[in-house]
């Protein structure tokens, strides 16, 4: 019956890929999202958001500035060694396409509202004597996931103490601000992003002269963040190698769900049905 519901739903919306990506969202953020039905993403509080605006062939500028939820999956994020160590193709920015109302609703739509969800956690305390602490959101268990990142990095640093310089001092976490040169809010505004040491990082806007991709951050560091749901800005054409942000929908990972609701007997497709 579940499969039948899925097939009916897919026939009604006309796209398997559309439904599958919508479900990637539900699976990635189970605390906030409930299901996908037709072209609608349904939140646990009953809020409905249109998934696909139906516009095709958007320019890169339109993808950045007027995206819908579906556009967030326009570029597939390459995990692990894939996409590491070479310049991404022109404008290949998986994760930079963000439907802002989605993140505002999830984490808070003002600095004050975001701050209510923030907590402070230690950052690689075993390697630094507990010197560094970071402020991050508790929404979606981002704080728990970053604790896991921190623990795994502490272990990595036992083997590779030289990597410490990439991770501390921390560049920053929470700050309600727009992305430089744009009107779009940074994910730092939501307490769901972390910049590691700025000194060993590269950012495309700092590049003088013709485009050139640069990176110093070792792959094992990137892999640990990805394992726990954070994408890396070093895999973007518009690179930002200090930057990690919580985007489990692009990685097929996420915090341990507090419990997906049992599938209902309706045409709606629930994330728990398929994954
Ligand atoms: Zn950043």
Between the CA of 201 and the centroid of ligand 1 the distance, in Å, is: 11
- Residue 116: helix, strand or coil by DSSP? coil
User: Residue 251 contacts by C-beta under 8 Å, 6 or more apart in sequence?
Assistant: 77, 79, 226, 229, 231
Looking at per-residue pLDDT, the higher value among 92 and 14 belongs to: 92
Between the CA of 64 and the centroid of ligand 1 the distance, in Å, is: 17
Mean pLDDT of 174-200: 93
Mean pLDDT of 40-52: 97
User: Residue 111 contacts by C-beta under 8 Å, 6 or more apart in sequence?
Assistant: 176, 189
Question: What letters, b where the CB count within 10 A reaches 16 and e where it falls short, cover 151-168?
Answer: bbbbebbeeeeebeebbe
Between the CA of 189 and the centroid of ligand 1 the distance, in Å, is: 10
Q: In the chain, where do the E strands start and end?
A: 33-37, 40-43, 48-50, 118-122, 133-137, 193-195, 230-232, 243-246, 269-270
| pLDDT per residue as tens digits for the range 114-131 | 999 999 999 999 999 999
Between the CA of 172 and the centroid of ligand 1 the distance, in Å, is: 7
Percent of the chain with pLDDT over 90: 78
Mean pLDDT of 70-98: 95
Q: Under a CB-based contact definition with an 8 Å cutoff, are residues 260 and 273 in contact?
A: no
Mean pLDDT of 90-108: 97
- 258 band by pLDDT with thresholds 50, 70 and 90: very low
Mean pLDDT of 19-39: 92
Between the CA of 232 and the centroid of ligand 1 the distance, in Å, is: 9
Between the CA of 177 and the centroid of ligand 1 the distance, in Å, is: 11
| pLDDT per residue as tens digits for the range 222-244 | 999 999 999 999 999 999 999 99
From CA 30, how far away is CA 40, in angstroms rounded?
Answer: 16
- Residue 207 in tokens: 């590049």
The answer to whether residue 181 scores a pLDDT higher than 90 is no
- Between helix 16-28 and helix 2-13 the angle, nearest 10°, is 120
Mean pLDDT of the chain: 88
Between the CA of 171 and the centroid of ligand 1 the distance, in Å, is: 8
From CA 92, how far away is CA 111, in angstroms rounded?
Answer: 30
């Amino acid at each position: 019956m579940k499969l039948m519901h899925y097939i009916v739903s897919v026939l009604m919306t006309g796209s398997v890929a559309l439904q599958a990506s919508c479900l990637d969202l539900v699976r990635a953020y189970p605390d906030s999202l409930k299901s996908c039905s037709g072209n609608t993403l349904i939140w646990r509080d009953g809020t409905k958001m249109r998934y696909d605006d139906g516009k095709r062939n958007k320019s890169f500028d339109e993808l950045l500035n007027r995206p819908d939820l579906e556009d967030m999956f326009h570029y597939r994020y390459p995990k692990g060694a894939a996409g590491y160590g070479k310049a991404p193709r022109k404008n290949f920015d998986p994760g930079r396409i963000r439907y802002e109302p989605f993140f505002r609703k999830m984490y808070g739509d003002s600095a004050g509202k975001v701050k209510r969800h923030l907590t402070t956690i230690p950052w690689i305390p075993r390697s630094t004597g507990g010197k560094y602490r970071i402020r991050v959101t508790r929404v979606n268990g981002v704080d728990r996931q970053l604790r896991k990142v921190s623990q795994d990095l502490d272990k990595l640093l036992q083997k590779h103490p030289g990597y410490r310089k990439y991770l501390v001092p921390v560049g920053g976490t929470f700050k309600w601000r727009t992305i430089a040169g744009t009107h779009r809010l940074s994910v730092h505004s939501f307490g769901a992003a972390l910049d590691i040491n700025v000194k060993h990082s590269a950012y495309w806007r700092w590049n003088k002269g013709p485009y050139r991709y640069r990176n110093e951050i070792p792959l094992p560091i990137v892999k640990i963040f990805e394992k726990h749901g954070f994408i890396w800005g070093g895999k973007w054409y518009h690179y930002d190698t200090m930057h990690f942000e919580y985007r489990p929908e692009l990685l097929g990972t996420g915090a341990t769900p507090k419990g997906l609701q049992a599938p209902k007997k309706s045409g709606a497709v629930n994330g728990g049905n398929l994954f």
